[in-house]
């Protein structure tokens, strides 16, 4: 299976806790047929500083701990690392 970028949506917005940039959208990753609407517990990568984040119950984001990153299933962890690398190329 090839990972692919899915649909993008606009969101009310939140702020990255690492770089303080405003995050006002989400893009699905790994399955172009899925929508990009995040739910609490979903993980993401900041498009600006490339930090690994998790959506909270209020759909704000918080930084993932190293322990949480290690506990991600291998496919999700690989997809996040791959996305982080792709973001580096569009700086």
pLDDT over 70 for what percent of the chain? 81
Full-model pTM: 0.80
Q: How far apart are the first and last CA of the chain?
A: 27
Whether the per-residue pLDDT at 35 is higher than 70: the answer is no
pLDDT over 90 for what percent of the chain? 44
Sign, Cα dihedral of 24, 22, 88, 51? negative
Q: Is 78 helix (H, G, I), strand (E, B) or coil?
A: helix
Compute the average pLDDT of residues 56-67: 94
């Amino acid at each position: 299976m090839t990972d692919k970028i899915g649909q993008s949506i606009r969101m009310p917005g939140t702020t990255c806790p690492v770089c303080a940039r405003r995050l006002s959208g989400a893009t699905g990753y790994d399955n172009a047929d899925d929508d990009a609407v995040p739910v609490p517990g979903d993980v993401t990568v900041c498009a600006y500083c490339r930090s690994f984040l998790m959506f909270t119950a209020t759909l704000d984001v918080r930084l993932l701990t190293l322990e949480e990153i290690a506990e991600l299933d291998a496919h999700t962890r690989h997809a996040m690392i791959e996305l982080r690398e792709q973001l580096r190329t569009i700086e």
